[in-house]
Amino acid sequence: MSDTPTSNPQNTNDDASAPQPGLQILTQYVRDLSFENPAAPALAPPDGSNPDVGVDANVNARKLAENDYEVGLKFTIEAKFGDTVAFIAELMYCGVFRLINIPENDIKPVLLIEAPRQLFPFARRILADVTRDGGYPPILLDPIDFLDLYRRGEHSETQEQAASPDDEAAH
């Protein structure tokens, strides 16, 4: 045996024992939902055609507490037959997320990429249900590339300060 001390992997104090970063969903909810069907029941699709559908999506986030943030997905869907509006659906779907051991420079991407990725399937289902219940085929949104949306800057900025009860939630 050698007199040189050997390292014991059980006694090392490396990053393996540090708490791992994580994202915890505390709650999810519909903040706002609107469905307007202005021409019903008179509007019938001409020749069984589908309406032209426009979708606008946006993501915002705001700090609620030290490690808790509200992330909101806002969708506006407008369907038209020519110049006639068939329906307008608007949804603001939110979740409260707790960030665990996320480095400061990674907070914004986590909130504006990963958090909305987790909320999207629920918002998609709500919009499909509301358009179906409005008398139209369900609108099934294509998956959204939140990384691309983030890179293009099509989101609201994260509020760094904790929001007081008097602050407006819209951003």
Structural domain contains residue 9: no
Structural domain contains residue 101: yes
Question: 0.85 exceeded by the pTM?
Answer: no
Q: Give the distance, in angstroms, between the CA of residue 93 and the centroid of all CA atoms in the same chain.
A: 7
Q: How many residues are present in the chain?
A: 171
Structural domain contains residue 34: yes
Identify the pLDDT of residue 133.
Answer: 92
What is the domain-level CATH number for residue 38? Answer: 3.10.420.10
Structural domain contains residue 67: yes
Structural domain contains residue 169: no
**Cβ proximity of 161 and 63 under 8 Å:** yes
Per-residue pLDDT tens digits for 32-59: 999 999 877 776 665 667 788 999 999 9
Which residues does 135 contact at the CB level (< 8 Å), separation at least 6? 37, 40, 41
Per-residue pLDDT tens digits for 114-163: 999 999 999 999 999 999 999 888 999 999 999 998 888 855 554 444 44
The CA-to-CA distance between both ends of the chain, in Å, stands at: 67
Domain that holds residue 126: 21-152
**Cβ proximity of 154 and 145 under 8 Å:** no
Per-residue pLDDT tens digits for 70-113: 999 999 999 998 888 999 999 999 999 999 999 999 999 999 99
In the chain, how many domains are there? Answer: 1
DSSP per-residue codes, 19-42: PPPEEEEEEEEEEEEEEE-TTTTT
